[in-house]
Chain A
Amino acid sequence: MLVLDRVGKTYPNGVRALDGIDLKVSPGEVVAVVGGSGCGKSTLLRAICGLDTPSQGRVLLDGETITSPHEKIGIVFQEARLLPWLSIAENVGFGLESWPRAEREQRVATALDRVGLGDKAGVWPRELSGGQAQRAAIARALVPRPEVLLLDEPFSALDAFTRADLQDHLLDLWSENRPTLILVTHDVDEAIVLADRILVMRPRPGRIYEEIAADLPRPRDRQSASFDHVKRRVLAALDRSMQRERRVDEGETRSEAGAGLWW
């Protein structure tokens, strides 16, 4: 069980990127996080995986406080971030260096096959397309079998066709060991295709604005009425979260103008 207990993050420059985030995610659950840009989604993932430490509150995985990167938590970034000097197989096996060679190669080969890169094992990263590189990055994160996999807009740099393909790959990989998935995305359809639960965030300070259940049967049919229903709810929540932001903005500008008059 992953628990966020009143997590807040204030950057040294004073930006309150997160404030009072409470969240419980059960094992194997898929959670999507949506929200306008700058509302703290990346900050949230970085706090969960221990790349950044929260300023307030704490992140607990199975009762253990996460303060630095943890072997049970994997992360995939928006860019594949493969190491250019390692072959694809070596990249995918990056987290298994302490393993016996045979076992490592076995597991890497299986993972490469699963993401459809079986024939690319010996190739350099620069020879892969964007979609292939991102599949390798997902395989790299999954090969150590994390309990929690975080994905920060993993498909946003890809074209729509590749994106749908990678969503399928991700679900396929997920169904193998069923890690907890937390997926940040800009794409509402993607959130509904993949997630059991959708969190809508709003900015300044970054908070969870609304939580929407998307417990549709899998595999999900984008054309179904229930899909459409959830989609409308998410879009409406996003809209409200933005309006709220706008109102906050107006309030701020007004008080600034007021301060100007006072002077």
Chain B
Amino acid sequence: MTSTAEPAAVQPRKSKAGLGRFVRWGLGLLLPLVVAVGWEAAVRLHWSDGRLVPPPSVIVATFMALAKTGELQRHVLVTTGRVAVGFGLGVIAGTMVGALAGYSSLTRRLIDPTMQALRAIPSIAWVPLFVLWFGIFEGSKITLIAVGVFFPVYLGVMGAVLSVDRKIVEVGRAFRLSGFQMVRRILLPAVLPHYVIALRSGLGLGWMFVVAAELLGASEGLGYLLVDGQQLGKPSQIVAAIVAFAIIGKITDWIIVLMSAPFLRWEDRAPGSMEA
């Protein structure tokens, strides 16, 4: 990609690059589209009754019906609220403990082995205990989500703080930065790329654990829609809920990426790797 002398050549190349990106997007959509259209056709042509695996049109109809009654929005809101609170708590705890463990080797020696041991426990195993401690309603669900979010954030922050380049910290010292300035001008920007990755994997686990929490007993939320669909034999409702999970999961991930993007422009990354 060397620049050419003629400025006229720049314009078409730009639009071509845009087209290239479009094509790449389109390529990714090809497989699901073919499957969806194929299945729709199969049901329409009565090769299959589509009872257990509803065709796209039925799913869309269910989706719309749920949305029209406002039921979908209510469940989405409840689930998102649970993830938001659990994610917030998990992030706060993970960030503080991770920063502490990264910053001071004494703290790290004290707490990291325990953290690693706790991390090895499948988080779902805590559920009975959480139910005993926090009740069967919101408390136990949010705690479970927070625990799921905590570990990737803790590990990410600790690793990020540990990997801050000592040589660059020394530049800060040579310019006589105070402790607070050192954090603001050197440590935070150095840690941010790793932190964003930690937040994104934390959020992913948050969505995973909200499903677990809601499957285990809830009267509201997308997880409840899943259980309800199973008990009433409505596979289209199950798939509609799954699609809703996929959409809001992706949207919330995008929110993190978009919010952090202005601060990460400096990063040396291949173009296009952000949308992975």
Contact B168 A94, beta carbon cutoff 8 Å: no
Count contacts on B: residues with CB < 8 A to the other chain. 18
Contacts of A62-117 to chain B: CB distance below 8 A: 68-71, 74-75, 77, 79, 81, 83-86, 94-95, 97
Contact B175 A94, beta carbon cutoff 8 Å: yes
A126 to B266, CA, bound (A): 8
Contact B189 A75, beta carbon cutoff 8 Å: no
Nearest residue (CB) in A for B170 is: A51
**Chain B hits for A68, CB < 8 A:** 176
Choose one: B167, B174, B265; the contact of A69 (CB below 8 Å): B174
Choose one: B167, B173, B189; the contact of A85 (CB below 8 Å): B189
Nearest residue (CB) in B for A76 is: B174
Nearest residue (CB) in A for B176 is: A69
Contacts of B155-198 to chain A: CB distance below 8 A: 167-168, 170-171, 173-176, 185-186, 189-190, 192
Q: Which of A75, A83, A86, A124 has the most CB of B within 10 A?
A: A83
Contact A49 B186, beta carbon cutoff 8 Å: no
Known: A85-B189, A124-B266. A51 touches B174 (CB 8 A): yes
A47 to B192, CA, bound (A): 32
Contact A77 B167, beta carbon cutoff 8 Å: yes
Choose one: A74, A79, A94; the contact of B167 (CB below 8 Å): A79
Contact A83 B171, beta carbon cutoff 8 Å: yes
Contact A69 B171, beta carbon cutoff 8 Å: no
Contact B175 A81, beta carbon cutoff 8 Å: no
**Chain B hits for A97, CB < 8 A:** 185
Contact A49 B174, beta carbon cutoff 8 Å: yes
Q: State whether the Cβ of B268 lies closer than 8 Å to any Cβ in chain A.
A: yes
Contact A81 B168, beta carbon cutoff 8 Å: yes
A86 to B185, CA, bound (A): 10
Shortest B171–chain A CB gap in Å is 5
Shortest B94–chain A CB gap in Å is 23
A49 to B176, CA, bound (A): 11
A75 to B190, CA, bound (A): 21
Nearest residue (CB) in B for A71 is: B176
Known: A69-B176, A126-B268. A81 touches B189 (CB 8 A): no
Shortest B261–chain A CB gap in Å is 13
A95 to B186, CA, bound (A): 13
Shortest A114–chain B CB gap in Å is 20
- The secondary-structure label for the interface of chain B is helix
A84 to B189, CA, bound (A): 9
Known: A77-B167, A79-B167. A84 touches B174 (CB 8 A): no
Contact A85 B266, beta carbon cutoff 8 Å: yes
A17 to B86, CA, bound (A): 53
A71 to B173, CA, bound (A): 11
Shortest B260–chain A CB gap in Å is 12
Shortest A30–chain B CB gap in Å is 20
Nearest residue (CB) in B for A49 is: B174
**Chain A hits for B170, CB < 8 A:** 51, 77, 81
Shortest A85–chain B CB gap in Å is 4
Nearest residue (CB) in A for B268 is: A126
A74 to B167, CA, bound (A): 15
Known: A124-B266, A126-B268. A81 touches B173 (CB 8 A): no
**Chain A hits for B176, CB < 8 A:** 68-71
Shortest B184–chain A CB gap in Å is 10
**Chain A hits for B167, CB < 8 A:** 77, 79, 81
Shortest A224–chain B CB gap in Å is 37
A121 to B168, CA, bound (A): 20
A124 to B189, CA, bound (A): 14
**Chain B hits for A74, CB < 8 A:** 174
Contact B168 A83, beta carbon cutoff 8 Å: yes
Known: A81-B168, A83-B186, A83-B189. A75 touches B266 (CB 8 A): no
A94 to B263, CA, bound (A): 18
**Chain A hits for B267, CB < 8 A:** 84
Contact with B along A148-179 (1 / 0, CB 8 A): 00000000000000000000000000000000
**Chain A hits for B173, CB < 8 A:** 51, 69
A83 to B172, CA, bound (A): 10
Contact with B along A120-131 (1 / 0, CB 8 A): 000010100000
Ordered nearest first, which 5 A-B pairs have the shortest CB separation? Answer: A85-B189, A85-B266, A69-B176, A95-B175, A124-B266
Interface of A with B (CB < 8 Å)? Answer: 49, 51, 68-71, 74-75, 77, 79, 81, 83-86, 94-95, 97, 124, 126
5 contacts between A and B (CB under 8 A): A70-B176, A77-B170, A83-B189, A95-B175, A97-B185
- Assuming A49-B174, A83-B171, A124-B265, what are 11 further A-B pairs, CB within 8 angstroms? A51-B170, A51-B173, A68-B176, A69-B173, A74-B174, A81-B170, A83-B168, A83-B186, A84-B267, A85-B190, A94-B175
